[in-house]
Structure 1
Amino acid sequence: MIKFSVVIPVYNKVEFIENTLDSVFSQTYPHFEVIAVNDGSTDGSLTILEKYKAKGLNIINQENQGVSVARNVGIDLAQNEYIALIDADDIWLTSHLEEHAKSIKKFPDNPIFTNHYDIKWNSNIIKSAKFNLDESDQNIRSIYDYFKASLNDNLIWTSAVCFKRSTFQSLDGFNPSYTTGQDLDLWIKFALKFSVVYNPKTTMIYHKGIVNSLSKNEYNEVRYDLFSSYLKEEQENQDLSLYLDQKRYGLALRTKAKNNLSLFKKTYTLINIGKLNFKQKLLLSLPVFILKPLHHLRDYLVQKEWFLKLTR
């Protein structure tokens, strides 16, 4: 029998955690345990977690050490081989674990699985994630080039993924030194060694949240370290190089718009500019005094939904 351990890192998610837990405990597939790692929350999240003890929620309390440590701790304590992650502000549809079980039965030797997901940009707009795949193929299948498939949205998203605990541990888990992008780093490590089983059934809603949230605008030095950590592997994998160039492009644009020119220059030198499209090259060439208001304009258009209607 396939059994899952669901791991939820929680830090100050009082506004969202109840909906997340309700979605987990509403699964049609019954064989799972749920572990919530309270990473030093100060906003009342723990009070809500304790309400779910009667449903079988296992709560682990620790001082605030970051999401990587919280996830690693939860997975270390898991009783089952298959780990399903969900962040404390995302939502599973009721069939999420059932669809993972279907994928595992079809590809029992594979160590990592992902379901299709939607992206909640704001309270009014939810859009389907876009992958570089044949969308007409609705079969559960093995994807051998994760990086090519992820040139739009990432094929693997943290709250949509399931993996074998033993393989996760062999890859040393989430890297605590990355205060952002630790999940992206782990999926790269998986994809360099294994194919990814993709289930086109949509079973998760990723809450993208506020445009100017901390996780999206800080830690740019950490992002640079991450995006420059696979230079050796990129020499042997052109799709990985292109995938990371898209990430580096976004970082370069962000740092230039914020007038962090030293980090912009470091990032820019790593990009194969010839692989960027005309629009990307143009934006990177703009002076800061033009790029900065364009950056703010984009955020405004996203909030007003116009940007998403035009680009998604």
Structure 2
Amino acid sequence: MSKLVSVIMPARNAGDFIKKSIDSVLAQTYPDFELIIIDDKSTDNTREIAKSYADARIKIVDGPGIGISAAFNTGLENAKGEYFCRCDADDLFPEERLMIQVQWLNEHPEYVAICGSYTSIDEKGRHILQYHKDTHSRCIDSKFQEGHTITHFGTFLIKTEVIKSIGGCRSFFKTAEDIDLQLRMSQKGAVFFMAKNFYRYRLHNLSITHNQPSTQRKFFEAFAKECHRERVSVGTDALMRGDTPDIPDVIDEKQHTADSHMMNQLMSESWYWFNAGHRGQAFKSGYRLVSISPFSWLAWRNLMLLVLKSFK
């Protein structure tokens, strides 16, 4: 018997991208799912786009408008599926993603979740970077035990009862809520990593990642991992004990833009491949950076250095 999958899609002013995100979920080769769109107090045309679909699998619910953690939990409260996953309103699912993951979890009930690789795309949907260049599928419990999250939460398919048993996201986390969620979930059972792309993550300047000061982003990420170390060591963490830390103040901090993020990623990838002896792949990454940022001196400088180094 087919098992229902609940796909939640938190959305706040996502009118520029949400249609493509919805389409990518509706295009799944696995048909037995519900798509729960959480309209988190949008002031643009997000809701109108969502309502334009005449598909009974789509359910639109109102979010509280107080952040991603609360929006996530609203979706979780409405989830009726046996399995659960998340697609942000600017990202994409590959079309066979649910079919592959559902089949694997059905065949391996001893696991609580399966995750995998992902790629990044730019605002126009162009490929930027392939994450996880290895092809080694494995159980990743040891990584979680060490406090490492190796992939994007959007790649996960999880038993819904497991996410509900830990209460979903914790409202303290304005960002990095997915890191905290992964680490808490990992203590409920085994997680498998499949070396296959399950998610396309869009980099653009309107995303939460690029609208939050890096000081606060790093603080939440570090605190999520600190909490995990505490739970592993003594069974509880600061938030569970009611010890809420102060969030650092930010004064005139320069934002980390999507363009700079893409620049850093592609430069790093080009030199990764170059040093690994795959010069064709290195030049491919270098050319991709130039094509995305044709007026950037750093992009051209990176490509010229690759050419010069190849003759040494």
Say whether the fold is shared (TM-score over 0.5): yes
Choose the corresponding residue for 1:198, options 193, 202, 212.
193
Aligned-residue sequence identity (percent) comes to: 22
Aligned twin of 2:130: 128
Sort the Cα spacing of 1:202 and 1:26 in 2 relative to 1 into closer, same or farther, 3 A: same
Cα displacement (A) at 1:87: 0.4
Aligned twin of 1:107: 108
What are the superposed Cα offsets for residues 1-29 of structure 1, whole Å, 9 maximum, x if unpaired? 32201111010110100000000000001
2: CA distance, partners of 1:214 / 1:62: 16
Aligned twin of 1:9: 10
2: CA distance, partners of 1:201 / 1:225: 28
- Tell me if structure 1 keeps the 8 A contact 2:162–2:188: no
Structure 1 stretch displaced more, 66-75 or 51-60: 51-60
- Structure 1 residues not aligned, in runs of 5+: 239-254, 261-291
Structure 1 stretch displaced more, 29-38 or 56-65: 56-65
Aligned length: 253
Choose the corresponding residue for 2:154, options 143, 156, 159.
159
2: CA distance, partners of 1:129 / 1:43: 32
2: CA distance, partners of 1:53 / 1:8: 17
Aligned twin of 1:176: 171
Within a 5 Å distance, the mapping from 1:38-49 to structure 2 comes to: 38-49=39-50
Structure 1 stretch displaced more, 228-237 or 29-38: 228-237
2: CA distance, partners of 1:62 / 1:236: 30
What are the superposed Cα offsets for residues 234-271 of structure 1, whole Å, 9 maximum, x if unpaired? 37979xxxxxxxxxxxxxxxx99x888xxxxxxxxxxx
Cα displacement (A) at 1:38: 0.4
More helix, by proportion: 1
- Tell me if structure 2 keeps the 8 A contact 1:86–1:158: no
Sort the Cα spacing of 1:194 and 1:171 in 2 relative to 1 into closer, same or farther, 3 A: same
2:46 partner letter: S
Choose the corresponding residue for 1:208, options 203, 224, 236.
203
Match of 1:145, SS state, is helix
Match of 1:227, SS state, is helix
Aligned twin of 2:98: 97
Structure 1 stretch displaced more, 114-123 or 225-234: 225-234
1: CA distance, partners of 2:89 / 2:261: 26
Match of 1:15, SS state, is coil
1: CA distance, partners of 2:145 / 2:127: 27
1:146 partner letter: K
2:209 partner letter: S
User: Quick check: 1:146 aligned with 2:139?
Assistant: no
2: CA distance, partners of 1:220 / 1:300: 16
2: CA distance, partners of 1:3 / 1:163: 12
- Structure 2 residues not aligned, in runs of 5+: 234-248, 274-312
